[in-house]
Amino acid sequence: MAIVKTTTQNNTAPNGSTPNGEAPVAATAVDRTRSVVNQGGTVVRRQPRTPGAVRPSAQRGTISTAPANPRSFLADTRAELQKVVWPTVDDVRSGTIVTIGLLIVFGMYIFGLDFLVDKLFHALGLFPK
């Protein structure tokens, strides 16, 4: 997104110079009919896409292409998987225990709320027996 300064501000000192010592510049009006991105005003046509064309990757600056054959795909996949930092057995075990414990706690909480609401509705006669 482009930011366009549209205000006309006079930054001149009492002696007629600007704070940085340069000569004052006359403010010009901003033409809002022209595109901020396309300053020349010429028609820009979008490039036609061809089937199978690959756009360059914006993050790495390289072109990502499909591997030539399945063997190179499997080799690349194995190389990427070797870079992964896998959790230890103790990390997996502790994460599993925490998950099961939280499931039990929240299950008991929901069961308790359901039980209380059921008894309240029966006591008020809103829910038949």
Tens-place pLDDT, residues 64-88: 566 678 888 899 999 999 999 989 9
What's the domain count of the chain?
1
* 9 within some domain: no
Distance, in Å, from the CA atom of 121 to the CA atom of 116, rounded to the nearest integer, reads 9
Task: Please tell me the predicted confidence (pLDDT) of residue 17.
Answer: 57
Task: Please tell me the predicted confidence (pLDDT) of residue 85.
Answer: 92
Task: Report, in angstroms and rounded to the nearest whole number, the Rg of the chain calculated over CA atoms.
Answer: 34
* 3 within some domain: no
* 11 within some domain: no
Q: H or E element: which one contains 73?
A: helix 70-82
Task: Please tell me the predicted confidence (pLDDT) of residue 47.
Answer: 73
- Which residues does the chain have with pLDDT short of 50? none
* 10 within some domain: no
* 1 within some domain: no
pTM exceeds 0.75: no
Task: Please tell me the predicted confidence (pLDDT) of residue 48.
Answer: 75
* 56 within some domain: no
* 53 within some domain: no
**The dihedral formed by the CA atoms of 60, 63, 64 and 66, expressed in degrees to the nearest 10:** -170
| φ, ψ of residue 77 in degrees (nearest 5) | -65, -45
Domain that includes residue 84, residue range: 72-124
